[in-house]
Structure 1
Amino acid sequence: MFNVEEILERTKDFLFANVPGVIGAILVLIIGFKLSKWIVRAIENSMNKYNKDATLNSFIKALSRFSLKFAVVIFAANVLGIGIDTFLVILGAAGLAIGLALKDNLSNLASGVIILLFRPFNIGDFIEAGGYSGTVKEIQLMHTKLNTPDNKVVVIPNGALVNEKIINFSVEKTRRVDFKFSVGYGADIKKVKEILNSIVDNHPLVLKDPKPFIRLFESGEGAITFTVRVWGEAANYWTIYYDLQEEVRLKFDENNINLPFPQMGVHLINKNGG
């Protein structure tokens, strides 16, 4: 077991005995981190100018930042009088705790490479993964950032993304919008279908091909249900969904189409069993 007090005492003695080296290492860290930040910005500007692949650019930017900062730390350790071999020995001496921490980080790093190679999603795609939905903003070495529709930033480890189901809503240019509309048993079925067809045909964002599908789905308990399936551009999905919901309700009201509502039948039985 490590003696914490002894380690702290030795560290203090080492620092006091190497004051010039400590000052030099601090200067290296300050200047090195600022210089690495400038280099990363230059790399980012160059990639944005010559390479339009936002996903690859994001990953290379994160890799460059990590590599440069790690190099600065190694150089500062050398200035402090700690050689690379000694530095690695110190890392190894930290034991199981660091090993377990690195295990997860290495898994996330490997998963980041897999995401880059197989591209289940790209920067700007709207995805559902890890229990969250949002637009992909950044793909880093260890994690991916999503921006949710209500403008929250969600950070998901890359390992979790690779090992779980990912739904990408942006791969295909078109999406199908599904509806179920219920009416009361007193409604005229032909009139209902006529209204639904009219609404769908007149909506400017609903595609004519594939052809819209409108059929009676079921005669259920207390209601007759119609299925409506239409296609539109993926970017227009929610506009179509809310427009049709509103227009159908308004047209049903205008044409006195009865809507279903919960009902309860009550039977009265007199004492003679009648």
Structure 2
Amino acid sequence: MTNRSSFLKLILLLAAALLLLLVAEVAGAQEAPTATPPDLPAQSSAVRSDDGAGLEAVDSAPVVIDGVVLFKVRGVSALPAEKRAQVIADRISALAADPGFSREALRIDESRPGLSVLMAGSHMVMGLTDADARLENIERHILASLFLTRVGDAVDNWRHDRTPATLQRNALVALGSTFVLALIFLAGARLFRKARAFLEQRLRQRIHDVQFQTFRVVRAQQLWGVLNGAISLLWVVVVLTAVYLYLSSVLVLFPWTRGLAGDLIELLLNPLRTLGLGFLQAVPKLAFLAVLFFLLRYTLKLVRHFFDNIRDGTVVMASFDPEWAMPTYRLIRLLLIALGVIVAYPYIPGSQSEAFKGVSIFIGVIFSLGSSSVIGNLIAGYTMTYRRVFKAGDRVSIGSYLGDVEQVHLMVTHLRTPKNELVAIPNSTILNSEVVNFSTLARTRGLILHTTVGIGYGTPWRQVEAMLLEAVARTPDLLRDPPPFVRQTALGEFNVTYEINAYCADPREMFRLYTELHRNILDLFNEYGVQIMTPSYEGDPEQPKVVPPERWYTAPARSPEN
């Protein structure tokens, strides 16, 4: 109860004080106002602001002339410090630009109590109150004298900096600084070129790979790249330093750019200060991310090294095809990276900010909208890999396309047709199509090439089969083991359909072998005077439809003996 009563009493006292202040303000407003300098509010308000019982005081602001800070002034909510400082600076610049004004006209008017007014003849420059003096922790009349001296010096410097002689001298200095900067750039560029050439000649041959037993950790080329990058970074630092020194020394020569020269250091230091503070705050998280990065990187290298050995046959695993090594490595790499991102996400600087979350959501939406077909092709690619549908180099038939598999990617498969055309087929299309692989069994059992002929019933079937087997014997690159064989596939109305089957070891030669086999069949049936009745039959001609040997090489054909 005691604490509650004390709290109520405090509230009542504050309310009474606020009421008294309001009454005083109304009474002051009804009285005739005195002349108040337009660069600051009424004296009583300024004093009350400093005491904390009236309007809340705002931060101070510097009065700047040609980039030089003369002094600082304070403000209140009715007249901000920045606006007051700008008004005072404009008045001082106007006095300096007036040729009829002399420094001796500056004086201090102490006629009003609690207020010191800096006058230039009959014109007011600024007014000082006790609150301004307390800002500098000095007596008001002493502060007024100091401010009066600074204003006089500012006027003299303003005029001196704009005299023709001073401008000409500073322009020559600026021109000389520009010439020196150009010489520094030329000499520095030449020096750095020589340094890079010297290091490349003396050190590059001595840099070797960093490896642990047979495992290569860092390549020599990477080490040389780091050294070369360090040299380039050093040159960039030298260039930036020279440019900064040049700008800071040249801009300060002229009154119009002197303020910019003073801001150069702030332009550089403010971002660096912000980055530095943010970096210091993020050091623990960055250390964790660095450890996680290197751990994940070398884990991926070890996994890659393991699967490379499986692919090369150094490591043999039962029921695991060496062709699965790289696709499996890619899957494991994706899982490890995803796990690393999940672990690292809370430690990424700014990951908890709304902007970061918004960008993450936006990227996720874009990825989900545009990746449906991509994900389908990826899944189809891995499905084909583990199903052993085909591999690079196989001759396959996919839908209406027939050719040799050039490359198998996760998204598409490249097929080279016998016409030397490169066809890119999406893996999702392959997964939904019939695939005929001519090469898988051809490596062990051979691929059977077959063709059919129709021969009349008047020709003995033993003769026909013998001629077909002889045609196979005359065709090079057709296998003798397993032996070829003939099948009678149909007894038609007018002819018997024979099918010759022969084995070949290379499916990529199937078109050439078919051509050679057909040529030999035509030659043999012509030699023995047997008419081929395929594809249709209407009646027996007077003469058998055969080509006699003397007409085999009718022009423009040439005999191989010639």
Interval of TM-score (by shorter of Structure 1 and Structure 2)? 0.5 to 0.7
> How far apart, in 1, do the equivalents of 2:447 and 2:487 lie?
19
- The match for 1:12 is none
Pair 1:260-2:533 in alignment:
yes
CA contact 1:195–1:251 (8 Å) conserved in 2: yes
**1:163 CA drift (Å):** 2.9
- The match for 1:219 is 491
Query: Given residue 527 of structure 2, which amino acid in structure 1 is its aligned partner?
Result: E
Alignment match of 1:241 (pick from 514, 533, 545): 514
When Rg is computed on C-alpha atoms for both structures, the one with the higher figure is 2
Query: Given residue 471 of structure 2, which amino acid in structure 1 is its aligned partner?
Result: I
SS, match of residue 224 in structure 1: strand
CA contact 1:130–1:160 (8 Å) conserved in 2: no
**1:87 to 1:202, Cα distance in 2 relative to 1, 3 A:** same
> How far apart, in 1, do the equivalents of 2:493 and 2:354 lie?
79
SS, match of residue 209 in structure 1: coil
- The match for 1:9 is none
SS, match of residue 187 in structure 1: coil
Alignment match of 2:390 (pick from 121, 124, 138): 121
Query: Given residue 226 of structure 1, which amino acid in structure 2 is its aligned partner?
Result: Y
> How far apart, in 1, do the equivalents of 2:406 and 2:354 lie?
39
Query: Given residue 212 of structure 1, which amino acid in structure 2 is its aligned partner?
Result: P
Pair 1:161-2:430 in alignment:
yes
> How far apart, in 2, do the equivalents of 1:246 and 1:225 lie?
18
> How far apart, in 1, do the equivalents of 2:490 and 2:403 lie?
35
**1:127 to 1:144, Cα distance in 2 relative to 1, 3 A:** same
Query: Given residue 416 of structure 2, which amino acid in structure 1 is its aligned partner?
Result: N
**1:121 to 1:157, Cα distance in 2 relative to 1, 3 A:** same
- The match for 1:25 is none
Map Cα deviations across residues 79-137 of structure 1 (whole Å, 9 max, x no partner).
Answer: xx99653322223455xxx6443222111112222233333211222222243222222
Percent identity over the alignment? Answer: 24
Alignment match of 1:148 (pick from 398, 417, 423): 417
Unpaired stretches in structure 2, ≥5 consecutive residues: 1-300, 313-321, 342-349, 540-562
Task: Compute the RMSD of aligned alpha carbons.
Answer: 4.0
**1:197 to 1:264, Cα distance in 2 relative to 1, 3 A:** closer
**1:252 CA drift (Å):** 0.8
CA contact 1:125–1:170 (8 Å) conserved in 2: yes
Map Cα deviations across residues 164-191 of structure 1 (whole Å, 9 max, x no partner).
Answer: 3222111121111122111234434333
Query: Given residue 221 of structure 1, which amino acid in structure 2 is its aligned partner?
Result: E
Map Cα deviations across residues 8-45 of structure 1 (whole Å, 9 max, x no partner).
Answer: xxxxxxxxxxxxxxxxxxxxxxxxxxxxxxxxxxx9xx
- The match for 1:191 is 463
> How far apart, in 1, do the equivalents of 2:400 and 2:324 lie?
22
- TM-score, normalised to structure 1, is 0.61
SS, match of residue 225 in structure 1: strand
Aligned residues: 211
Greater RCO (CA < 8 Å, at least 6 residues apart):
1
> How far apart, in 2, do the equivalents of 1:104 and 1:166 lie?
21
**1:220 CA drift (Å):** 1.1
Map Cα deviations across residues 223-249 of structure 1 (whole Å, 9 max, x no partner).
Answer: 222121122213443333222211011
- TM-score, normalised to structure 2, is 0.32
SS, match of residue 226 in structure 1: strand
> How far apart, in 1, do the equivalents of 2:393 and 2:323 lie?
9
